[in-house]
Amino acid sequence: MLHDSSIRKSVEDYVKLRIRDIPSEIKHTFPNVKQVWKCENQLDFLYGYYVGKIEEGTLHYLLKATRSSVSGSIDTFEIREIIEMYRTDLKNSIEKALS
């Protein structure tokens, strides 16, 4: 499904928008990550959390945009690949919020 260049570009734009908003979101939502979630590494925890949230949000976005069902037409691995393309930006965005 994401082979359509306009859909792929829309997904990439959505991922970049979500990554850009992460520092503000972390400051307002996760002020005490280590205490609340009992995690040892805030960066690793938040990285995994946001990969999942961005993937979930992308699926929701695609369902609304294409009015299709998840089964069959949307490959979550393709979404993960797009998120992985921006892994450095995602990591930097989280580090910015934690500093």
Output the tens digit of pLDDT for each of the chain's 99 residues: 566 678 788 889 999 999 999 999 998 887 777 777 788 899 999 999 999 999 999 988 887 776 655 445 567 888 899 999 999 999 999 999 988
The one-character DSSP state at 32 is: T
Are 95 and 66 in contact, with CB atoms under 8 Å apart?
Answer: no
The beta strand positions in the chain, using DSSP E, are none
The one-character DSSP state at 40 is: S
pLDDT of residue 10: 87
Are 66 and 4 in contact, with CB atoms under 8 Å apart?
Answer: no
